[in-house]
Amino acid sequence: MSRLPETLTAALLATAFALPAAAQPLGLGRAALPEEIAAWDVAVLPDGQGLRPGSGNVLDGEEVYIEMCAVCHGDFAEGIDNWPVLAGGGGTLADDRPVKTIGSYWPYLSTVWDYVHRSMPFGTAQTVTVDDTYAITAYLLYSNNMVDDDFVLTHENFTEVVMPNADGFYIDDRAETEYPLFTAEPCMTDCAASVEITRRAVDLGVTPMEDGRPAGTLPPLTLASADTAGAAETEAEAEPAAEAEAEPEPEATAAADHDPELVAKGQRVFRQCAACHQVGDTARNTTGPQLNGVYGAPAGQVEGFRYSNPMTTAGKDGLVWTDTELHAYLESPRAYMRGNRMAFNGLRSEDDRAAVIAYLATFAD
């Protein structure tokens, strides 16, 4: 009888010693299930850890790439506007204007696969299949002149690919190369014979400005400017109130057509579009055309935007962005018009489409 507690004590002691001293688990959390780990742990490491079985070739990759990636990165991975350039740039890393691309800079192919698979396309992440990821990766190698057009990338030959800049990186050496230089007792007096201004930021004129000063400049404290300006503004607005009744009719009608709640929702939904499209007073064409006045207007006619051929043709043939057409287009942009450039998977929810259309209608001319 008396032996049992002794055995238990010994077992408890053994357990205690097997664990790190301060690491007695609290028993919080629950076991992660294999399906959950498979869903969330999508990391792919340089030695191929984490790669999913599959394959893809250059030609298929080109097709998928044109459909999903070219709108930002260009048909030849050359990068549209400021979006990343993915190809070329070899031998430029020591130049004044280095071009850092997959081919010229990235040390590991695993990074390309991992990033395309988990984070691209921008705005519709985690929609590229495993085989399409292999295919896009193969096409990007081809774009960088690293493989021929008959190349097939698979989980089996993946780690055989050596990136051109694989040896171009070294571990942070500031502690050895910089800290000794920057730990001397600093000079306090007569440290330089003379000091001249060599550059002025104002010469470049790239600072955001407001009222002729750098944006955010603190207002003067010796004027009661905020109070007074506020009061003056209110009065200025109040004075012409009588005549205002007649004037702003047209705008009021346009706005009254739209349910404010729906418009507010549309504004939220529009965030999915905002990576490529702008609306409002300061809107300009970026990756996509600016969308002021597009609602109710013929397709493909925003000034200064280079549309795909199918979109331009459709506009000339009489396509007008009515509610019905916008619903169909936004539900599935690619199915609606083959070959158009909008790399967006579409809004599946009819409510979301109605909301964003209502929002766009508030920017009709």
Partner 1 sequence: MSGSSGKGTTRRGFMRAGMAAGGALVAATAARATGAGPDPLITEVQDWASGFGDPVDATPYGLPTEHEAHVVRRNVEWLTEGPVSSINFTPIHALEGTITPQGCAFERHHSGAINLTKQDYRLMINGLVDRPLVFTYEDLTRFPRHVLTAFCECAANGGMEWGGAQLEGCQFTQGMIHNMEYTGVMLRDLLAEAGVQPEGKWIYVEGADASSNGRSLPLEKALDDVMVAFYANGEALRKEHGYPVRLVVPGWEGNMWVKWLRRIGVYDQAVESREETSKYTDLMPDGRARKWTWVMDAKSVITSPSPQVPIRHGKGPLVITGLAWSGNGRVTRVDVSLDGGRNWQEARISGDAKSKALTRFHLDIDWDGSEMLLQSRAIDETGYVQPTKDALRAIRGTNNVYHNNGIQTWWVRADGEVENVEVA
**Does the footprint of partner 1 cover residue 250 (CB under 8 A)?**
no
Which among 62-70, 113-121, 145-153, 251-259 is the span making contact with partner 1, rule CB under 8 A?
A: 113-121
CB of 21 to partner 1, least distance (A): 10
Show the site string, 227-246: x = touches partner 1 by CB under 8 A, - = not: xxxxxx--------------
Question: What is the per-residue binding string for partner 1 in 261-290, x denoting contact by CB under 8 A?
Answer: ----------x--xxx---------xx---
Backbone angles phi, psi at 224, to 5 degrees: -85, 55
Piece of 142-150, 195-203, 242-250, 255-263 that binds partner 1 (CB under 8 A): 195-203
Write down the least CB distance from residue 13 to partner 1, Å.
Answer: 19
Site for partner 1 in 119-158 (CB under 8 A): 119, 122-123, 125-126
State how far the Cα of 138 lies from the Cα of 132, in Å rounded to an integer.
10
With contacts defined by CB under 8 A, name the span among 98-106, 135-143, 322-330, 353-361 that binds partner 1. 98-106
Q: Considering only residues 11-30, where is the footprint of partner 1 by CB under 8 A?
A: 20, 22-23, 25-26, 28-30
> What does the alpha-carbon distance between residue 65 and residue 116 come to, in Å, rounded to a whole number?
11
Please identify, among the stretches 57-65, 171-179, 289-297, 355-363, the one whose residues bind partner 1 according to the rule CB under 8 A.
171-179
Which residue, among 81, 56, 52, has the nearest Cα to 141 in the 3D structure?
56
Tell me the CA distances in angstroms from 207 to 212, 214, 216, 315, 341, one per residue in order.
11, 6, 11, 39, 33
Q: What stretch of H or E contains 132?
A: helix 130-143
Among 15, 16, 214, 306, binds partner 1 (CB under 8 A): 214
Residue pair 135/57 in contact by the 8 Å Cβ criterion: yes
**Minimum distance from CB of 14 to partner 1 (Å)?**
16
**Nearest CB to partner 1, comparing residues 157 and 225:** 225
Report the residue count for the chain.
Answer: 365
Of the listed pieces 130-138, 140-148, 207-215, 345-353, which binds partner 1 according to CB under 8 A?
207-215
CB contact set of 87 (below 8 Å; sequence gap of 6+): 76, 77, 78, 101, 102, 103, 140, 143, 144
Task: Name, in order, each residue with C-beta under 8 angstroms of 34's C-beta and a sequence gap of 6 or more.
Answer: none
| Residues 6 or more apart whose Cβ sits within 8 Å of residue 310 | 337, 338, 339, 340
Interaction between residue 1 and partner 1 (CB under 8 A): no
